[in-house]
Structure 1
């Protein structure tokens, strides 16, 4: 970290320092109301935005990083780039000292452009294209994950200096937004054969990783996963393999009370199962935790139709744009008028459509909104996780055209 304070370090970071960053005050307002007030000022200003845009509150990222260090002091965060690869977001986290979880060559390149050292990157994709793995070898990203014997042979062929993290399947949390165990992670009976496969090939297994699922709210699942990781450590020791030195507890964290609960469980489990291995480096792969609440979307009403008591509105972002999170990430949209709702104001059952010609592009139905007009704005909170990262150019409406404005609150 550079600069006199974390916020100063972020403002001076590559990817941030050459961009306009708006300052705004929280004062007595709630965070979300303060951002809405900033957006009102932006759209009212001459030459202000006239189409959908995001606001990234960099101070929120700083606050979240401080909260992580306070609650999980022994766990270095490696931000999951896939969650939101916005350059300013990556730059802020790099300035704060975070590492990065990258899953492809493009993600690795994006992080390296910010001056991040290869040793602060984990190539956390258990199944990698040969060309991407060869690129990792060229630039010195020497840590990756695996959960299949075939991947060991690939690493030996394409990147023989690379060390491995054995990705194990975490216990079923039952309530994760996205259950990654359906696709990745070794079953308990596969751990020993996978360790032996690496031993035969002469590839070092540096540690163990797991992921309890994205957006998991049951904190106790971390205890079971850490216990299983210790069992894998012990299995490697019994085989006479070099001592493992890294435990990757993955992601799935959400900011708020559930994070505090998860952190308490993790800290107790680390003490119980790894307290006798003080040399083990513990890392995590938070994505949603940092990105979700730091971004706010403002979308403009571009069309309206009245059918009796029903109101139908079209906005200039939708399910093929950053609001793809409704389908892909189980996001529950709760749009609110930027102008605010007056006390006692009548509301109507409303449908909000995205801009494309596909009827699937429907944001909400039967949602109570006050009477709105073309040119008004709707605000969507907590729009940073798996939003712009997964958008498309369908029907000629490009997600990349939705500008991201930088701000920081005090």
Structure 2
């Protein structure tokens, strides 16, 4: 299948001198005259920078993108064109990746509890790599996809991560030998080990412990006659721009742990499954206030004659936790709005809470914020909104997926075309020159700005 890369017409091409915020001004002029629906601006240049930064910091690691984090088609097409693999946890995710033309050897079926229909679909599509951490999964795969190549998922200490999964997923070292023996009896091939220390891990040393544990399981496998050759170190790399220092620290820890336990030339291929790292800072969400209500202050002794003029307001937005704010539930985050209209600094601040459009008691986006008085029709901007903000369209209140406007600078686009050409024709270049765009400067420069040379109306 021909890989269906992003087309130039799908992207708002911008030049140096403009920021995402400037781009928003142009879009808001357009949108304000129309429906005032919520929308995203996705800076694909940020995604490309993250990809190249990872390749430079950890050259031994082959990146796989975890679709469950954000399955927007532009991101998937861009990463497919840059040679990334994909971790798919559902039939829909696998179908999307296949429709773009990604070959099956660059797809891993990562769901920890796979339906039989998913296993059979993977088999029909030639996807062989699958993860497992218990006997039930092993026997399902043995029956429905006997030629699968299994990756045993290790439990980790993820107590320092924002999303902890070890209570549900991963086998302990004690259980691993039993599972490897069971796989042998079922005649299922086990080709590697994976672990995932959870989202945005605050302690990079946990990678060292997990990589050391993986080495032990590789040795258990060798004793049983397995020739395992794949190590999947999962995710946990920070995604927001302010975490840049923590990324460097994590990369250094991972690098030295790999040198110690899986040195270069040991015959083990190392991959990582990254979600938040790629998309968190690339996406900005813009929403509109659709309703407003003043409510009594909950402070003891408060009355309408409050000398500070302090009030309490409830605002309803045109998107909520069942839509683009699903990260509030998934990651327990409290998104902080940026006001599009800059308020006068001497305006009094009021207790403010933001709710989605459903009227549901759980549809609370943020509570207890101190903000000047806002009004229906005002726009709010939320940054770092790329992770777990793209749920399937919800039936609640007819919610639809917010539209995404993709943007990228002309210089970055040309560098991507150059890199894709070299990935498609590696025989024409040696290893050094495949990475040529790394030396051109644009993807390493954190302060690079973007500016429009487009007419939004022609794309909207």
The normalised TM-score by structure 1 is: 0.90
Task: Name the counterpart of 1:295.
Answer: 283
Alignment of 1:288-367 (within 5 A): 288-307=276-295, 309-367=311-369
Secondary structure of residue in 1 paired with 2:325: helix
The Cα shift of 1:276 comes to 6.3
CA distance in 1, matches of 2:331, 2:398: 21
1:322 aligned counterpart, secondary structure: coil
Distance 2:38 2:126 in 1: 39
The correspondence of residues 1-400 of structure 1 with structure 2, limited to 5 A, is 14=4, 16-17=6-7, 19-25=9-15, 27=17, 34-45=19-30, 50-170=36-156, 172-241=157-226, 243-255=227-239, 256-275=244-263, 278-307=266-295, 309-389=311-391, 392-394=394-396, 396-400=397-401
Gap change, CA 1:79 and 1:347, over 3 Å in 2: same
Which structure 1 residue ranges, 5 or more long, are not aligned?
Answer: 3-12
Higher relative contact order (CA 8 A, sep 6+): 2
Contact 1:42 1:48 in 2 (8 A): no
Does the CA-based 8 Å contact 1:322-1:399 persist in structure 2?
Answer: no
CA contact (8 A) 1:173 1:218 kept: no
Moved more, 114-123 or 268-277: 268-277
Contact 1:40/1:339 (<8 A) preserved: no
| 376-385 vs 344-353, which moves further | 344-353
Contact 2:323 2:391 in 1 (8 A): no
Deviation string, structure 1 residues 141-185 (Cα, Å, up to 9, x no partner)? 011111112322222211111111111111x13221211111111
Give the conservation status (yes or no) of the 8 Å contact 1:178–1:213: yes
Distance 1:369 1:40, change over 3 A: farther
Asked whether the equivalents of residues 166 and 205 of structure 1 are also in contact (C-alpha less than 8 Å), the reply is yes
- Aligned-partner Cα distance in 2 for 1:261–1:390: 35
Residue 62 and residue 393 in structure 1: after superposition, are their counterparts in 2 closer, same or farther (change >3 A)? same
Is the partner of 2:327 in helix, strand or coil? helix
Q: 1:20 to 1:201 in 2, by over 3 A?
A: closer
CA displacement at 1:324 relative to structure 2: 2.0
SS at match of 2:4: coil
Distance 2:362 2:123 in 1: 43
Question: Once the 2 structures are TM-superposed, how far is the Cα of residue 393 of structure 1 from its aligned partner?
Answer: 2.8
- Distance, in Å, in 2 between the alignment partners of 1:156 and 1:367 is 53
- Answer with 1 or 2: which has the greater Rg: 2
> Partners in 1 of 2:6 and 2:318 — Cα distance?
27
Cα shift at 1:188: 1.1
Q: Who is 2:404 aligned against?
A: 404
Quick one: distance in 1 between partners of 2:184 and 2:174?
17
Is the 1:43–1:49 contact (alpha carbons within 8 Å) kept by the matching residues of 2?
no
Aligned-pair CA distance for 1:303: 1.5
1:345, distance to aligned residue in structure 2 (A): 4.5
- Looking at structure 2, the residues matched to 92 and 49 of structure 1 have their Cα atoms a distance apart, in angstroms, of 29
TM superposition score normalised by structure 2: 0.80
How many residue pairs get matched?
390
RMSD: 2.1
Rounded to whole Å, the distance in 2 between the matches of 1:373 and 1:129 is 47
Deviates more, 1:336-345 or 1:230-239: 336-345
Q: Residue 262 of structure 1: CA displacement?
A: 1.2
Q: How far has the Cα of 1:186 moved from its partner?
A: 0.7
Task: Give distance in 2, aligned partners of 1:364 and 1:152.
Answer: 42
User: 1:73, CA displacement in angstroms?
Assistant: 1.1
Contact 1:352 1:365 in 2 (8 A): yes
- 8 Å CA contact 2:154–2:170 kept in 1: the answer is yes
**Distance in structure 2 (CA, Å) of the matches to 1:126 and 1:367:** 38
- In structure 2, list runs of 5 or more residues that go unmatched: 296-303, 305-310, 410-449, 451-460
Q: CA deviation at 1:98?
A: 0.5
Runs of 4 or more consecutive aligned structure 1 residues displaced over 6 Å after TM superposition? none
- SS for the counterpart of 1:272 is helix
Distance 1:341 1:268 in 2: 49
